[in-house]
Amino acid sequence: MDFKQLRSFIAVIRYGSFTTAAAKLRISQPTVSTHIRQLEEELGTPLVMRNAKRIELTASGYKMYDQAVSMLAMHDKMLQSMRRHEADAIYLGASTIPSGYILPELLASFCEEYPDARFVISQESSQTVINGMLTGLYDLGFVGMSVKEDTLESASMFSDKIVIVTPNTPRFRSVDPDDFNQIVDMLRTEHLIRRKTGSATRATANRVFEAVGLDESALNVIAMLDDQEATKNLVECGLGIAMISEVAVKNRVEAGRMLAFEVPGVDSSRQFYVLRRKNVPLNDLAEKLYSYAASWDSRLS
């Protein structure tokens, strides 16, 4: 039993629908169903009746619902207690690219002006960071996808693009970077290393695949993972090619350790955003950091 299962169970009861619960939690309906089934299997009893027009609780479900609410309340109280130990810290949720390649320079620069700033940083997928912002887990979020949430405010902070990276071998050095068909054929036939679902990098890559007429199911995917450094290492060692943020591979490409290509005529640009919750006051330093991050692109110019 874990808190994800409990949150799914509570959401199903509150919203009376697996579909609505999944939408509110921003996960798939099969995932919600799996969470409920796992709870029922672990407890050895059905919790909800699925044959009604509206989801209804069994007798065991009523007992479990009250306990689940209490358990999550205790969990949230514990988190608040932990946060009090770091009362002066700014809690940041950041997806892979911002946490590894944008925040280090940004926060170092920020601390030159505000040396008293302290941070607690969690690295997650963009979607997980957004979820954390919605539940108040983080003061600020840094993600690689636009956000359509009424309770969140976002500002563009950094411009980048997705590139195709390959090993620096004679076979790939022979590829003409201006030949559209040759680049697309490389995407179609080569082993491809992909990011997992929920990644903004994957979403931008999917946009490129759609633009060149490549169906995702036809890709020759050899591995899927979330770790950016591991992805680069796999490419450099020759396992396959990958689509990755240019800022993440700049040093290796400049050092000649791998090659980078774009699809001619296809827009692979992407934006990174800083997030805050609307109508929720930030402490003074967090407020300054939000404004500082929102102007980061102009500071780099």
Contact 49, 55 (CB under 8 A): yes
Q: Rounded CA gap, 47 and 40, in Å?
A: 6
DSSP code per residue over 83-118: HHTTTTEEEEEE-HHIIIIIHHHHHHHHHHH-TT-E
pLDDT tens per residue across span 11-37: 888 888 888 888 888 888 888 888 888
Residue 237 token pair: 């060692």
Domains of the chain plus CATH, in order, are: 3-83 (1.10.10.10), 85-158+271-300 (3.40.190.10), 160-269 (3.40.190.10)
Query: Is 286 strand, coil or helix?
Result: helix
Query: Is 77 strand, coil or helix?
Result: helix
pLDDT tens per residue across span 124-138: 888 888 888 887 889
Task: Indicate the pLDDT class of residue 79, thresholds 50, 70 and 90.
Answer: low
The alpha carbon of 131 is separated from its chain's Cα centroid by a whole number of angstroms, namely 9
Output the pTM of the full model.
Answer: 0.65
Beta-carbon contacts of residue 129 (< 8 Å; ≥ 6 apart):
93, 94, 95, 122, 138, 141, 142, 143, 275
Residue predicted with more confidence, 186 or 79: 186
Task: Indicate the pLDDT class of residue 87, thresholds 50, 70 and 90.
Answer: low
pLDDT tens per residue across span 142-179: 998 888 888 899 999 999 999 999 999 999 999 999 99
pLDDT tens per residue across span 235-275: 999 999 999 999 999 999 999 999 999 999 999 999 999 99
